[in-house]
Structure 1
């Protein structure tokens, strides 16, 4: 359930200089008037079903195609599908499938069609699933490295520098009063913030998105995905993956004070107050390292002395949606430490997990606290999060060799939460920031098996598997009816996160059931995400030949190299297409300090209620974030791990 109120400041994007080569396919598409070919620009595994899409400005018959290798030799040929898959928009009323599944040899290829609608596709590869998905995993981790805050940054292509060192001694403030009648509900009514504690060390962590806010809710979710990815890949995981997961936990350890039983909710505020006496993070456009030396009075909370907020008063019960995710992160860290032989570290992380889990308010009200304001990340369910937290604690205890009497209570609670989720929440959403049931279900199956399948649990393996199957089957049904096989809703927020979530859920379902009937569906979702869509672009930066260039992030926008070109934020995943209603009224003006960047020609491919705009101002579709990129990392890791079962 993506939220139209997931809002940052209008986020700037990468400058266009030096990226002309990446945009050649788009330029060609603009010039073409009869036909366009859409393919997965990253590539396909040898055994994949391989379908390209020929978009045409009028109905055609008798079209033929050739698949050419890097030497220009034809390796496959045939007829384009004679039946159009449907009308995309008035400019492209027909879309024809091109099945080239016979191409199985590793190499680089492109497709050309001949006839009334001549077209040439971008280049793509056929390679092993390990190589195909391995690149996506490594690139996704690169984004997390670019998002680091504090002293332990990795310079990388974006030339990152230490930032927000003042977070080492931050002040805790009372949650402010927000004006819920404002457009995003994030304008603060108070004339100033009320200090209630501190100083606390909340330095480090990751920026949530293109802004510099740090949220416990999104960091925990992202960290859960990184740990699950590293666990799935085992020894084949790139060294950067477990290291980055540990980096996330290091910050979460600071956000949970087990001694006072205090969980800190976030660092920073998005917007300032109504009177304008102080600003918020979203009101500024700058590199993060300048904040500590910003002496402007209006920027005191936005930059120099960023506020910290509590999820609940010290010792008070905490909303379960955030507790479950953070406890799961600690427990996953414990599992990783146990696997590496660090028993002491595992024991400490497990203690953090159990102490926080015990603080969950399992009778919460109608509003679940995730952020300030909660409109940034409005959550409506929580059984899935508690299922995940209890499950990962049980798995960590099993990994440490704890007794059955120690872990069985958590296993029992996890099963109860799973039952409640299936009864009350199932069918409302699928794997993404707001629903972690797929990961929880699959891991609970593993925990139950490791416990010898004890009797008397509230759910059975069959029930968990059935719910996973229902999630995949529903999306697969949607995909089958879509022109480009999209299983997600590209008229709503977070379609890319959901689509990667489908890929993960298919792999999780296949692992616990042995049923591979939806493997082709997972491949279709990857194809759509990486270029096989109406817009002809990958939605992951650096993946393929055409990808988001004007992403919603200040750092790449302002980190140009000495020759004037701007580096790209490799691995970041943007929101993707969104409902056309979200673009009504235009994109507004550039924020002070932004470098202009726009590729608005994508609007020529608006159709079926979905629009994609790659523009500095297009937070609706060009914003990237921790949760969206984490979804790509998990999907790629799980599919790579599952490749041997096909």
Structure 2
């Protein structure tokens, strides 16, 4: 550490002509799967390059020639070549070296069976969710978390806030419409302290789905239940009201918002109940709908899916509780505004989480309702299955199709629809999602299947991994397995920057996440008290990184900036800087998607 808390990675510097570098999946490779690494350098450096794999004792266990050139990355790295490690099947810890016309050494990596390798990664993801807990039922963990936002136990309900067209300033005073309501608990959404039904439903659904595949992951069941319990509070079945949000993300000159202050979460409890900080101490709750009114179908569909997944989870051991979950799921689903036009309700302001599609959410809700009803012997299973198929066909015919991420759950919905019975259209759409990723990867020097010049590159990459595994599980067709391995590798180190985008995984990973608790209570060096298991956004378009967040209370942390700049290319940029929310802010939806990908890979 040097200079007022600023830190740099101990990455090699190579003067005016960068040396060749190796990119590997730093989390490791499955023993029985295809394995690919990359060498980056100049044409001359890699023209006669060979590689060797050495074990922990320094013995060479595999060697070969660098594979074909896949393209140029940037002006300094005009050649990228593949290194095929598929013949390496013996479990162990290894490093990869370049020899011949280039010299370089990789970070260490493991080769291990899928269950062994993936379970540890999933367990780290659970640790992140534990660190995100709000309310009284916290897990202290590495960051020594304290109870926070205890006033959420008796919160006031307000009508939807009105913002300017950019979603940056509150234009009218908030209007009280109800309360008090208990909305305590749950998870912080990302590096801030807001809580959203939209993202919590997505993450809880993925934790429950992961529990199907990897049920013995320490803490997973408890964390899924924690998210579920909070969503249960956000649904008032007596009045037919779904609450969308706790906390205010953008305020005004008279109202300080969550994004205006850098602090530990428990500091909000000590604030004054009057003045500009009043909405930080006594946080507002915003409704998704007026009591009994139709609910935005994206929220209704995904919340119904979560409650139905809870019914499936409890069906065997506690059928009475499972029926209560099914009752709630059916009520939320029935109240969906299926004639919806205009903007969808996600969060306030909507610019935080824009969404265009809702048909996939309704398919998800219907599919999970049908599966839950089948397990409980409920005759409505057939009707819900038919409705899920109808929603799937409408989604597939729409112009709002995407791939797995917080704004599109079609992959989750399709996979469970296929389990209910033949669903060729859903099968074909899963192939469409994976085929698009494969085609994009084929044109990229490091085989990235997601777009890395826009937000959510890393979670979309993990979404492709999860989708490939869901497809194989649902159909028995393993044609996309190698693609899944390739994409997981990109997210965990086999990318141009040579970093894992999951904190604590590998030798090189983010040290300076834009996360208030991690910054103020954790380590700035990547060792000791870190936000282990958190998944960050990853690279983004260079034009999106012109400004960084800055607060007086923020501990300065900047890691490896000069070295990362060497590896920027294709109009993409990566920074490990506490103010660079565009690249290193972790989020619940990012991390739950990775967790699901790991759990499905282990199955």
Q: TM-score, normalised by structure 2?
A: 0.96
Residue 267 of structure 1 corresponds to 246
Residue 308 of structure 1 corresponds to 285
- 1:407 corresponds, among 381, 384, 389, to 381
Q: In the TM superposition, what are the counterparts of 1:491-530 in structure 2 within 5 Å?
A: 491-530=453-492
Q: In the TM superposition, what are the counterparts of 1:228-627 in structure 2 within 5 Å?
A: 228-234=209-215, 237-273=216-252, 276-295=253-272, 297-339=274-316, 341-403=317-379, 406-425=380-399, 428-448=401-421, 460-560=422-522, 567-584=529-546, 586-587=547-548, 590-599=550-559, 600-601=561-562, 602-627=564-589
- Check whether the contact 1:583–1:620 (CA below 8 A) recurs between aligned residues: yes
Residue 107 of structure 1 corresponds to 92
- 1:170 corresponds, among 155, 174, 178, to 155
- Check whether the contact 1:40–1:528 (CA below 8 A) recurs between aligned residues: yes
What does the per-residue CA deviation read over 1:429-463, in whole Å, with 9 as the maximum and x for residues that have no partner? 10111111111011011123xxxxxxxxxxx5222
Q: CA deviation at 1:166?
A: 0.3
Residue 71 of structure 2 corresponds to 86
Residue 148 of structure 1 corresponds to 133
- Check whether the contact 2:121–2:595 (CA below 8 A) recurs between aligned residues: yes
Q: CA deviation at 1:296?
A: 7.1
Q: CA deviation at 1:97?
A: 1.5
Q: 3-state SS of the aligned residue for 1:188?
A: coil
C-alpha distance in structure 1 between counterparts of 2:81 and 2:522, whole Å: 41
Residue 451 of structure 1 corresponds to none
- Check whether the contact 2:271–2:278 (CA below 8 A) recurs between aligned residues: no
What does the per-residue CA deviation read over 1:13-35, in whole Å, with 9 as the maximum and x for residues that have no partner? x9777xx8xx44x3467898221
C-alpha distance in structure 1 between counterparts of 2:484 and 2:163, whole Å: 41
C-alpha distance in structure 2 between counterparts of 1:15 and 1:350, whole Å: 52
Q: CA deviation at 1:350?
A: 1.1
Q: 3-state SS of the aligned residue for 2:39?
A: strand
Q: CA deviation at 1:56?
A: 0.9
- Check whether the contact 1:431–1:502 (CA below 8 A) recurs between aligned residues: yes
Q: 3-state SS of the aligned residue for 2:302?
A: helix
**Which runs of 5 or more structure 2 residues have no equivalent in the other structure?**
none
Q: Does 1:124 align with 2:121?
A: no
Residue 7 of structure 1 corresponds to none
Q: CA deviation at 1:373?
A: 1.1
What does the per-residue CA deviation read over 1:384-432, in whole Å, with 9 as the maximum and x for residues that have no partner? 00000011111111111223xx221211111110110111147x31011
Question: How large is the RMSD of aligned CA atoms in angstroms?
Answer: 2.0
What does the per-residue CA deviation read over 1:547-578, in whole Å, with 9 as the maximum and x for residues that have no partner? 11111100011114799976111111101111
Residue 10 of structure 1 corresponds to none
Distance 1:96 1:565, change over 3 A: closer
Q: 3-state SS of the aligned residue for 1:197?
A: strand
Q: In the TM superposition, what are the counterparts of 1:14-25 in structure 2 within 5 Å?
A: 23-24=9-10
What does the per-residue CA deviation read over 1:38-87, in whole Å, with 9 as the maximum and x for residues that have no partner? 11111101122222211114433221211100000010112222x42211
C-alpha distance in structure 2 between counterparts of 1:31 and 1:149, whole Å: 49
Residue 189 of structure 1 corresponds to 171
C-alpha distance in structure 1 between counterparts of 2:435 and 2:268, whole Å: 48
Residue 455 of structure 1 corresponds to none
Q: 3-state SS of the aligned residue for 1:629?
A: helix
Q: CA deviation at 1:303?
A: 1.6
- Check whether the contact 1:280–1:301 (CA below 8 A) recurs between aligned residues: no
Q: 3-state SS of the aligned residue for 2:315?
A: helix
What does the per-residue CA deviation read over 1:156-183, in whole Å, with 9 as the maximum and x for residues that have no partner? 1110110000000000112221011x4x
C-alpha distance in structure 1 between counterparts of 2:17 and 2:180, whole Å: 60
Q: CA deviation at 1:515?
A: 1.5
Q: Does 1:59 align with 2:49?
A: no
What does the per-residue CA deviation read over 1:237-295, in whole Å, with 9 as the maximum and x for residues that have no partner? 3141111111101000100000000000100111211xx11110000110001111111
- Check whether the contact 1:41–1:531 (CA below 8 A) recurs between aligned residues: yes
Q: 3-state SS of the aligned residue for 1:251?
A: helix
What does the per-residue CA deviation read over 1:335-388, in whole Å, with 9 as the maximum and x for residues that have no partner? 11113x111211111111111111100011220010111111111011100000
- Check whether the contact 2:5–2:524 (CA below 8 A) recurs between aligned residues: no
C-alpha distance in structure 1 between counterparts of 2:526 and 2:408, whole Å: 42
Q: 3-state SS of the aligned residue for 2:117?
A: helix
Distance 1:481 1:149, change over 3 A: same
C-alpha distance in structure 1 between counterparts of 2:12 and 2:532, whole Å: 22
Deviates more, 1:462-471 or 1:328-337: 462-471
Q: 3-state SS of the aligned residue for 1:187?
A: coil
